[in-house]
Structure formats: C-alpha cells, structure tokens
C-alpha cells in the first residue's frame, strides 16, 4: 500500500476505519478571489463491504441535485463516488455541520415524497433509462433511519 501523501483527500482516508453512514467535511478550498467552497463526504454504505446499485446512485443523484436547491442556494454540486458508497456534496462557503445535516435530511425527505426522478429521459440525461425511483427512495430511507449516526465517522 502506498503511504505517501496523495493529492486527493479521500485517498489519504483509511477506509477501513470509518463507520458508514456518516457526513464529514472532506475538503475546504479558498478560491483566488477569497470565495470558499466546502466538500462534504456523504457516505451511505460501508466502504469495501457494501455499495449502492447504479440505478439507485444515478436516481438519487438527480433527485438530490434538484431537491437540495429548494433548501439552499449554497449547493454547487452533488456527485456520486465511483465506488458507489456515497456522494460528495459541494457547498459555497463554510456552512456549519448541523446546518448541512439539516439540508441533507430535508432533501432526503423530499426524495421519499417524490413521484418521479427529475430529468430521467434521453433529452436531459446521458443514460435516461438507467434510473429507479424505488431504489433511490430505499437508499434515502436507509440513510435517514440512521440519522443519529451521521456525525460519527470512525468506529
């Protein structure tokens, strides 16, 4: 295993020591003109033990990206991790963790109430047929049921 410090923050995280689900600040960047962006690791499943199926990942990405902006103007992006264990939530500024947890909770509650996956078609999505509202709702439900554990990152 490579022990040299790597440029990507998550590559320096020992994935064996974390206990999903959790939300943690993964990075903070100050941009050249003083603006700040903060990246949160929103981990749904235990790394190297479980993962979300691709239709769930894809649909939850669409739903969260759309619904979260109803709760916050600070949302820049919500991107899935390639390992299919969670997402990166990128926000403008340095919102406090309790506020970010409220944003995530409100957004995932919206997901549970959704009747369709937004932009799940060939015009608005690069793989429009690769969606499952039911799978996205189940992932949201599972994550919400463990709300009390979100701030505990390590076992």
Which among 98, 137, 94, 144 is positioned nearest to 117, based on CA atoms?
137
pLDDT in tens, 72-100: 999 999 999 999 999 999 999 999 999 99
Residue listed under structure tokens 């959704």? 114
> How does the average pLDDT of the chain come out, rounded?
96
| pTM flag (> 0.75) | yes
Residue 34 CB partners (closer than 8 Å, separation 6+)? none
**pLDDT band at 1; cut points 50, 70, 90:** low
Q: In the prediction, which pLDDT does 112 show? A: 98
pLDDT in tens, 2-26: 678 998 888 989 999 999 999 999 9
- What Cα–Cα distance (Å) separates residue 122 from each residue in 76, 79, 118, 125? 24, 20, 12, 5
């Amino acid at each position: 295993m490579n022990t040299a410090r790597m440029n990507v923050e998550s590559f320096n995280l020992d994935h064996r020591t974390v206990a999903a689900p959790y939300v943690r600040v993964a990075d903070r960047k100050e941009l050249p003109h003083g603006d700040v962006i903060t990246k949160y690791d929103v981990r749904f499943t235990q790394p190297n033990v479980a993962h979300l199926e691709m239709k769930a990942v894809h649909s939850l990405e669409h739903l969260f990206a759309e619904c979260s902006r109803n709760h916050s103007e600070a949302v820049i992006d919500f991107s899935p991790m390639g390992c299919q264990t969670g997402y990166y939530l990128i926000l403008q500024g340095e919102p406090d963790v309790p506020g970010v947890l409220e944003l995530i909770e409100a957004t995932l509650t919206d997901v549970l109430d959704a009747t369709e996956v937004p932009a799940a078609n060939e015009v608005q999505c690069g793989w429009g047929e690769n969606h499952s509202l039911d799978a996205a709702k189940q992932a949201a439900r599972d994550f919400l049921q463990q709300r009390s554990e979100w701030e505990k990152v390590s076992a």
